[in-house]
Structure 1
């Protein structure tokens, strides 16, 4: 992707004005309060009635309260999966996670430093905002780097020297140094998503609930604590999507979501993770729609907090926890063991990194060397305490580390992580570009709250190699530099790779072409319902 060849390639958020709505009523049987009835085990083999009419409707379980859809501030994969279908980027990703053209019809770069994009002509904005042009690209990207916007993705454009629009259908981006991965920065994900200036100005701080893009769907309505309805953008440049409506029902509990799927109240269950539920659904004839090793879940240590600033303490933590055994005991289908912060399928991934096998005695030795023979107490803010969290807590207690949990709501949880005001925390960051993970987690320019380096990690040797890897044109040299970065990171251990998360979006068998990308997103433009 880094050579010099040219490649062709209204709504209102009802917000505080609404009283909390009840969950969607069950379509049959007794309701348990989460939009699903408590009986029924048979798989649904027929599509909903609307599928046989003129407009098809796909009903999807959404597993948390929405947190807004502004690319400058969007957070959490469930929100990003909706935004992926509202917006477009200059590039986008297919179901295999490969970069493909989107709003850019072609592009060229002689040196991985100056990138020239030729835009599609005639692309229409949703909601009658007119034709997409290069001015929209410049506005969107300059908005990301505007300090007043305070986007956590601003540093994704930290290597940009200038954004230029020589004509309505050409964008030129000049970088400070070569970047062979730059096409990822302008793809349909976070900072790469294009917004409409007039819509942002119209809605102000409510734009996050009133997004406007050029993608295949737009948000028609949101009902607090209940559902999100998306409608087809008939003016989408590829043509109208097969499905007219996407109805996302908010069902937070996985068990309840599985029942809703079995009862035919939803057609797709966005993200079910429990092994026993997945086995039950598969036995009942549902498709699991699996993606292996979609992303790595890491334990983050705030290195400005004692005693976590001591690498021996972090390494002791890694040895103290039986990561593989805990996965096997709790969720062997939904998770698998790993020992690197990059997912295994990335082309720059290496397994030549330090490994921290389960060894409580080694953990105790390291704690004693660090001056904590009797351990210490530390707090983790958490959404809810899962069985795996309890097992980690027990493992740590056995070596003297007292891990305490403080349960907080989603908004507070995200704020604590983004501000870097935690002691220990967790994060899962889906990505296709290795720089998205490595720069976000490890580069000092991204130290929270400026970015996702919640560990406040700063190793000049690693930083130099990371920057050199991004600028390196030779693929083998790049891979070697990235391997060195991974080895240093896993030695210093600001983040422990706890598990590799597999993705499952179970669905009825009449749902066609549902594919989960490595970014944990589904392109609903490709999905259909069999008649």
Structure 2
């Protein structure tokens, strides 16, 4: 793989933090042929699969640890063995597995065993561990160790998401029991006992993460010896870095896709994928004045969703009608409350007006700022001032977390995006009552929503699942806490000599990147 000198060694239009990530070592600017330089929309925060914070964490965790199975790259959803030499479902509640005999943990923690599989799965499912991802193993009974390398996963009931999201996803990762216990039971950015195709070589916060090939990995060898991941939060800045020759791969902003179709940079191609992700505006029902349901309902009527999405994506994506994307059971074509500014004013008057300042929290990117400014204008049109608070990723992802501080008490509204797995339960599980103060930043408590979530994960009939998940989104509408915006469009910029590893929804699979 060959590279040319960057046309610009620094981009004046990129923020200072982003510029820092683009400075190559002083001893030379040419990248080695075995090095791939990628952009991630956020810096890593927690690599522990049980406590990961965001998609960038999961992307790296799936590189440096092995699971029983892994997702396939391509246009069809599927999985393939990774750490397992064999795995099959004996009946609707029993999965049999045998590990390969050549999976080695780094740092002297030895061979991966069935005991490590038991530890890793039961650790996430254990209520005492309080993992935000415990619902990925909600119906686990236990893991039975048969011998050194084989065992059985026993479920309490049939579990619809098992092969769609749990086993191929980050919650299916195998950790070394000895390694995790040696570091006190959990970890963040210093992963113990790595076992995947790559190893975490270096992390410089807000600058870069370097992965290097794991010499002890006996599976399919990755095409690139080294991957450098640059955390550039703003998509427009990342696109400029790509155009300057400083990146081999980036996710483009939704608003740039139509432009890129007709005006690609040199030595580049555009790949488009239908994403599963969802973007919405959330309202904290415990924070004044939104503890009044009339004020929450007024917000649903005050905001012109089409204008917000047009600003967020520059006209590149359609509005959404819920949190479940087209193609999955539960995708809707309606919302119960939509743009009606006169109705919004009426509800505010009935509630006695809004007598305290309003604010909305967003990630500091051009897309989120554009969306927030339209919301600001919508509210100004009915006589309400709105302050926009911008955050870097480190501070943003803590604003609704009880564990992270006190901001959850005063945070009023926010806009964000959640990534998805190809099962509707992975959209709804973040809003169940148990997630309040973790990922349920709206602090909405609906026992009926929780009951339906439990019903959905054991239902295999597609038509019945469709009805369950539509009913759940109806409840979200009624709460007044949610304003659904878009599922975006997923545009990927890549060099013509790079064949990226991607799921059908455009999620990156770093070990699957190949030289075209």
Q: Which residue of 2 aligns with 1:136?
A: 116
* TM-aligned CA deviation for residue 36 of structure 1: 8.1
* TM-aligned CA deviation for residue 230 of structure 1: 0.7
* TM-aligned CA deviation for residue 325 of structure 1: 2.0
* TM-aligned CA deviation for residue 392 of structure 1: 0.8
Q: How many residues align?
A: 484
- Looking at structure 1, the residues matched to 181 and 354 of structure 2 have their Cα atoms a distance apart, in angstroms, of 57
Q: Which residue of 1 aligns with 2:27?
A: none
- Looking at structure 2, the residues matched to 386 and 473 of structure 1 have their Cα atoms a distance apart, in angstroms, of 41
- Looking at structure 1, the residues matched to 55 and 96 of structure 2 have their Cα atoms a distance apart, in angstroms, of 28
Q: Which residue of 2 aligns with 1:231?
A: 212
Q: Which residue of 2 aligns with 1:410?
A: 393
Q: Which residue of 2 aligns with 1:288?
A: 270
Q: 1:214 aligns with which of 195, 201, 205?
A: 195
3-state secondary structure, aligned to 2:361? strand
Closer, same or farther: CA 203–316 of 1 in aligned 2, 3 Å: same
Closer, same or farther: CA 478–155 of 1 in aligned 2, 3 Å: closer
Closer, same or farther: CA 173–276 of 1 in aligned 2, 3 Å: closer
Does the 8 Å contact 2:278/2:418 carry over to 1? yes
* TM-aligned CA deviation for residue 302 of structure 1: 1.8
2:405 pairs with 1:425 = no
3-state secondary structure, aligned to 2:493? coil
Q: Which residue of 2 aligns with 1:92?
A: 70
Residue correspondence of structure 1 range 485-500 to structure 2 within 5 A: 485-500=472-487
Q: Which residue of 2 aligns with 1:308?
A: 290
Does the 8 Å contact 1:261/1:269 carry over to 2? yes
3-state secondary structure, aligned to 2:282? strand
Cα RMSD of the aligned pairs, angstroms, is 3.1
Q: Which residue of 2 aligns with 1:13?
A: none
2:514 pairs with 1:528 = yes
Q: 1:457 aligns with which of 413, 420, 444?
A: 444
* TM-aligned CA deviation for residue 97 of structure 1: 6.5
The farther-off stretch of 200-209 and 226-235 is: 200-209
Deviation digits for residues 369-392 of structure 1 (CA, Å, limit 9, x no counterpart): 4x1445753333333261221111
Q: Which residue of 2 aligns with 1:16?
A: none
Q: Which runs of 5+ in 2 are unaligned?
A: 24-29, 403-407
Deviation digits for residues 155-193 of structure 1 (CA, Å, limit 9, x no counterpart): 433433323223333333333443222334632434322
3-state secondary structure, aligned to 1:294? coil
Does the 8 Å contact 2:41/2:234 carry over to 1? yes
Q: Which residue of 2 aligns with 1:268?
A: 249
* TM-aligned CA deviation for residue 360 of structure 1: 0.9
Q: Which residue of 1 aligns with 2:357?
A: 377
Q: Which runs of 5+ in 1 are unaligned?
A: 1-25, 39-47
- Looking at structure 1, the residues matched to 339 and 278 of structure 2 have their Cα atoms a distance apart, in angstroms, of 19
- Looking at structure 2, the residues matched to 242 and 308 of structure 1 have their Cα atoms a distance apart, in angstroms, of 52
- Looking at structure 1, the residues matched to 6 and 37 of structure 2 have their Cα atoms a distance apart, in angstroms, of 12
Taking structure 1 as the reference length, the TM-score comes to 0.81
2:35 pairs with 1:57 = yes
* TM-aligned CA deviation for residue 274 of structure 1: 4.3
Does the 8 Å contact 1:91/1:186 carry over to 2? no
2:31 pairs with 1:31 = no
The farther-off stretch of 395-404 and 123-132 is: 123-132
2:330 pairs with 1:348 = yes
Q: 2:377 aligns with which of 370, 373, 394?
A: 394
Closer, same or farther: CA 171–297 of 1 in aligned 2, 3 Å: farther
Taking structure 2 as the reference length, the TM-score comes to 0.83
Deviation digits for residues 248-299 of structure 1 (CA, Å, limit 9, x no counterpart): 2344444443233223222112454442895399433422222233311121
2:238 pairs with 1:257 = yes
- Looking at structure 1, the residues matched to 498 and 315 of structure 2 have their Cα atoms a distance apart, in angstroms, of 22
* TM-aligned CA deviation for residue 460 of structure 1: 3.0
Does the 8 Å contact 1:65/1:250 carry over to 2? yes
- Looking at structure 1, the residues matched to 461 and 270 of structure 2 have their Cα atoms a distance apart, in angstroms, of 40
Closer, same or farther: CA 318–88 of 1 in aligned 2, 3 Å: farther
- Looking at structure 1, the residues matched to 449 and 236 of structure 2 have their Cα atoms a distance apart, in angstroms, of 43
* TM-aligned CA deviation for residue 361 of structure 1: 1.0
